[in-house]
Amino acid sequence: MCSIEKLMRLLDKRLRLDQELELFDHLDHCDSCRTAVYNLSHDRDKAFFVYRPYKFKQPKNKKLSVA
């Protein structure tokens, strides 16, 4: 059921509810389509995909160890 057209229509909010539910069910099992939705949405609106690095503070007088 992989369909770039349906993924584009999902992002454009042009699917009926039953089509959306069917596509969401498909996305639960299809890595390729999930990746495609992510990439398409990233290309369309980069403002939602701002890189925000995590900031970790090391406790005073303690060293982090790697197991």
Residue ranges in the chain modelled with pLDDT below 50: none
User: What is the distance between the alpha carbons of residues 15 and 56, in angstroms, rounded to a whole number?
Assistant: 42
Whole-number pLDDT of residue 43 = 78
User: What is the distance between the alpha carbons of residues 52 and 27, in angstroms, rounded to a whole number?
Assistant: 26
Whole-number pLDDT of residue 1 = 72
Q: In terms of pTM, does the model score above 0.95?
A: no
Whole-number pLDDT of residue 32 = 94
